[in-house]
Amino acid sequence: MLELLGSLAAAPLGGSAAALDSGRYAAFVAAVFASSVLSSALGVGGYALLPLFVGFYGAKSGVAVITVYFLFQNFAKLLMTWRHVDFALAARLVTWALPGALLGGALLVVVPAHAFQRVLGAGVLAMVIVPRLRRRTAAPRPARAERAGFALFALAYGVASGALGSGNVLKGPFLTSLGVVKERYIGTYALTSCALNVPKLLVYRGGGFAPGAVLASAWPLLLVSLAGTWAGTRLLRHIPPAWFERITNAVFVVAALVMLLGPT
């Protein structure tokens, strides 16, 4: 799948989906479908599509269009997992992440998105490794420090989400470090993402890089996300909770190393 993403993203076409030749657009849709299945089964995969969307739509418009896709996908996941959502955790996360998302969206207007790549990579590794070290070696922190850490993380997640279209590569390790797995993970992940997608799109529209015609060209992705989410949620039923956390953390570590060591 990574080879497919690379080959597709390597040939920017600079226009709406209607302008793509049928073969390349079919490959684009296939990659998005595969990502939808992975994202619904494991909560990972969607952020790997950013280079592909950027290749098709341009750097900043690609972030806006992938946000539309994430809105479709997360709404579909929420419909299928809403009974498992941790609403209290989601409310806390969104309360602190929303200001960060608005700031990140504003930064995207003036700052190259790739400037966040190294910071994101380091943050992902920290979110995977540090909580597990604390479980083994450190005494529990005071409640006030826990609350402050939660708030700072949520703000950072919001900034990354606004600037890159998705901060879920940070949010995923955070949720698993709290013991949130399986359907509870997928549903809580989806609700918090949906809550940020709409305000981010408003900021992108205001910044002038999300014109209505470009966003409207993303409507076929609604059907793709529904089909991929349906398949992924059924695959999720067969994944044991312990394996769920191991697989997702392995993906997060690989993604972090790519961001830290790969080209910007």
- 264 residues of the chain, pLDDT tens digit each: 444 444 444 444 444 444 446 777 788 778 788 877 877 776 665 656 666 676 677 667 777 888 888 888 888 888 888 899 999 999 999 999 999 888 888 877 776 656 555 665 665 566 567 656 655 544 455 556 577 788 888 888 888 788 766 777 678 778 887 888 888 998 998 899 899 888 888 888 887 777 777 777 777 877 887 888 888 888 887 777 777 767 777 766 776 676 667 665
Tokens standing for 226?
């529904």
**What is 147-198 written as a DSSP string?**
HHHHHHHHHHHHHHHHHHS--HHHHHHHHHHTT--HHHHHHHHHHHHHHHHH
- On whether the pTM is more than 0.75, the answer is no
| d(C-alpha 119, C-alpha 117), whole Å | 6
Residue of 214, 233, 240, 256 lying closest to 39 (CA atoms) = 233
| d(C-alpha 43, C-alpha 185), whole Å | 8
Residue of 48, 51, 113 lying closest to 254 (CA atoms) = 48
Residue 63 CB burial class (10 angstroms; 0-12, 13-18, ≥19)? buried
